[in-house]
Chains A and B, each alone.
Chain A
Amino acid sequence: MASQKRITKELGDLMNSPPPGIAVALADEANLYQWKVTMEGPAGSPYAGGKFDLSINLPQNYPFKPPTVVFTTKIYHPNISNDSPPNSGTMCLGMLKDSEWKPSTKMSAVLEFARQLLKEPNPDDAVETKIAEQYRNDRGAYEKEARDWVKRYASGKK
């Protein structure tokens, strides 16, 4: 159970000194492999002011296999699927692909990368091609739509 030791250690580090705008907790106290992350939209991006919930699932053979990162809060973003479940919210992140994943990558790096992606979408590796197109061609409309979605889904009030 090398994975447990490493996960405990990483989780402890993330909780003791969380990266800016990111809060990590266990979704279920008894399950080390299921994390609940709250991410603040980065300032200077259309997501600023929003609070996004992420669900992170670590595989049993972590760190040899990548974790899966899912936005449970709806978000208007070229790299994050807004399909109907079960694909909704899955994040397309190069480093999280099975072939790209490195066992030495830490969860803090994954989360920081995800937050960075909110600030700087990567339209070349998009899952929502329409949003990617809009992002490339009509930045203003994209930003307005994204802000709208934040107001609707990620304003923190239910």
Chain B
Amino acid sequence: MQPHFDALFAESVRSSPSLSPSSSSSSLSTHGATQAATQGGNYDEPPSKIDLRALDYVTDYDSHLMCPICHVPFLHPVVLECDHTFCNSCLKEYREGASSGARSRCPTCRAVLSSGPRKASRLIVNMCNETKVRCPNDDCQEVLPRGCVEHHATKECPHERLRCPDPKCDKLVKRRNHVPAQCIHISHIECDCGAVIELGKGEWLRHKDEDCPNTGVKCEECGQRISASDYPGHICNPDDDHSCPGKQYGCTDDFSPEDSEAHLKSCPLARLAPHLQKQSQLLQSLQEQLIMVKVRNEVLENGFEKIHDVLNDRVLPYVSHSDHSPAEASDIEEIERDHIPSALSQRDLLMPAHLGDLTPSADPDSLSISQTQQHLLALHESLRGNVSNIENNISTLTNTISDLDARTSMQIMNETLRIKEDLAHTSAALFSTRAQVQWLMNRERVGQQQQAMGIRGRAPSAQPPVSNQAPSARSSVSEGGDSSGQGQSLEGQPSASILGSSPSFRPQIRRQSGGSQERVKL
């Protein structure tokens, strides 16, 4: 009540010019100052934050207190010479719009005025400010005298919407929910009904279903939504329900119970209602299915991704390193780098092709399902692309392998040729050795025969030097054959691999030459 008295006091002070501008209240001093400045008759009134004319005046007020221009109880009334009263601002507005002739006349009686308006009596001011109005803030039901509504609405009304304290947040918050220096919109939500509910605790749904007076609770018997406060007194009477069945689908027609039959016949929405209801049920079930499909889809995608990773990390490195010598492996790695990353980038879209079978078979005209199908088809397509990529990969690999095969067999051929040549050389050398040995043997045999024929008696004494001679000749021959074979192998085979294998040839040659010597011996 205090502000009310303040307002009344302010008005009373305003209407008595004897009070000087040095009065304590700042609003009073502005009155005094403007009054002194505008002797001509226009009084400036304190700027109001709320439009006092647009308020809801709850009680009928005396029509004599009504300004003839704005039809609202006078606001800062002034009286003209002719004794007609107007709001100060209404008179000002009239004069601003009027022609110069009309400006100096009374808007009501057209009397020519020689002096400016004077303030109306305190009695009228107080009576006008005493009229009851409703608080202009939404949801506030407060009814109070007009003289203090501004103070209430802008200073203490719990329903006044204030700016959120967080400068980054552009929402409004009711005064009663306003927490200084804290934005409640992040963690809380404000319902239309004014309740503030903390998010993330299921409280919101509970509020909407049970507590909220706006959405209310659903009657178990008749399915009607009633506000929670009305619920205890609620009486179900579905028989009396003459509302159009198409109401929830947009029929706004109002009709009396007698007309309901006629309306049901004429209303297209009423006839469509069963169909629409079926459709909405179907839509709901499809939405549920879609959610399930999404979950499954996610699981499968994750699984597929894992498989893909395993393939990339374990199988492919083995494939590239196991079958080929290091020189060729680098070629294959290059190919892999070209092809595998593209597969990786598509990994998000990769889906097993059989996933299409998991989509529930549903109404073909359902939009969401067809979208899922399209999505799955797209996935299928991308998978197909991937498979063809892999196929390309494999075919390049096969090409490389066959290329390598050709190269290796060429090398083997070359090597065999060289070995064959070697063998030919060796056998040629062997042949010459054999010829030499034979010649020497022949000579020896001839010599022996001559000795046998010449000196028969002392033949045994000549034998030892011959037997000494034979081994030395034999060893020199074998050495010669050996060195020639070695020389041929050196000039014919520069490759290190063949050089490495040359020691295995030497004993063979020795053995062969040895064998031939043995054969020769026999």
Contact = CB atoms under 8 A, between A and B. Distances in A.
Interface of A: 1-2, 4-6, 9-10, 61, 63-65, 99, 102-104
A155 to B, nearest CB: 29
B interface bracket (residues with beta carbon within 8 Å of A): 10 to 19
Given A102-B110, A104-B107, A2 B70 contact: yes
B108 A102 contact: yes
Given A103-B107, A104-B68, A104-B107, A1 B54 contact: yes
A5 B108 contact: no
A108 to B, nearest CB: 12
Given A2-B53, A5-B70, A103-B107, A61 B97 contact: yes
B10 interface: no
Interface string B54-93: 1000000000000011111000000000000000011001
Contacts of A64: 69, 93-94, 97-98
B446 interface: no
A113 B68 CA distance: 18
Contacts of B99: 99
A104 B106 CA distance: 10
A40 B98 CA distance: 35
Nearest to A65: B97
Given A10-B71, A99-B99, A104-B108, 11 more contacts: A2-B53, A2-B90, A2-B93, A4-B54, A5-B51, A6-B69, A6-B70, A64-B93, A102-B107, A102-B108, A103-B108
Most buried by A among B70, B71, B94, B99: B71
Contact of B71 (A6, A99, A102): A6
Contact of B69 (A9, A10, A63): A63
**At the interface, is chain B mostly helix, strand, loop or mixed?**
loop
Contacts, number: 45
**At the interface, is chain A mostly helix, strand, loop or mixed?**
loop
B102 interface: yes
A103 B94 contact: yes
B90 A99 contact: no
Contacts of B69: 2, 6, 63-64, 103-104
Contacts of B70: 2, 5-6
Contacts of A104: 68-69, 107-108
A99 B93 contact: no
Contacts of B54: 1, 4-5
Contacts of A63: 69
B204 to A, nearest CB: 35
A5 B94 contact: no
Contacts of B93: 2, 64
A103 B53 contact: no
29 contacts: A1-B51, A2-B53, A2-B69, A2-B90, A2-B93, A5-B53, A5-B70, A5-B72, A6-B69, A6-B70, A6-B71, A9-B71, A9-B72, A10-B71, A64-B69, A64-B93, A64-B94, A64-B97, A64-B98, A99-B99, A99-B102, A102-B107, A102-B110, A103-B68, A103-B69, A104-B68, A104-B69, A104-B107, A104-B108
A9 to B, nearest CB: 5
Nearest to A6: B71
A115 B93 CA distance: 31
